[in-house]
Amino acid sequence: MEPETVVNEMSVVLVDEHGEFTRRRIGGPKGIDAVQKLLGVPVYDVEETGYPQRMRERIEYERILRKREEQRRRRAAFDRGELPD
């Protein structure tokens, strides 16, 4: 569970065993109980427990892949003689 902020509503983050995740608004504290009952899974407050390590690792892995793809794109443009953006 992620707390409400100035920018975002209270939300829940579902994380699988591979670190892939999805984030959904839950509409307040009552939504937490509904999610927990519906899915039958434990709910943790991210302010108390932090995000799962597997989620943090997945985010970092995807960041690295995006960076490599950007480098490949720039290299291909350079090889074609195109000026950088």
In angstroms, the CA 85 to CA 74 distance is 9
Total number of domains in the chain: 1
Task: Give the 3-state secondary structure of residue 51.
Answer: coil
Q: Please report whether residue 63 resides in a domain.
A: yes
Per-residue pLDDT reduced to its tens digit, 15-67? 999 999 999 998 888 888 888 888 888 889 999 999 999 999 999 999 999 99
Per-residue pLDDT reduced to its tens digit, 1-19? 898 888 888 999 999 999 9
Task: Give the 3-state secondary structure of residue 20.
Answer: coil
Q: Please report whether residue 69 resides in a domain.
A: yes
Q: Please report whether residue 3 resides in a domain.
A: no
In angstroms, the CA 31 to CA 58 distance is 26
The boundaries of the domain holding residue 34 are: 11-79
pTM value surpassing 0.85: no
Cα of first residue to Cα of last residue in the chain, in angstroms, is: 40
Could you tell me if residue 8 is left (phi over 0), alpha (psi between -120 and 50 degrees) or otherwise beta? beta
The pLDDT of residue 85 is 64
Per-residue pLDDT reduced to its tens digit, 68-78? 999 999 999 99
Judged against a pLDDT cut of 80, whether residue 84 lies above it is answered with no
Q: Please report whether residue 1 resides in a domain.
A: no
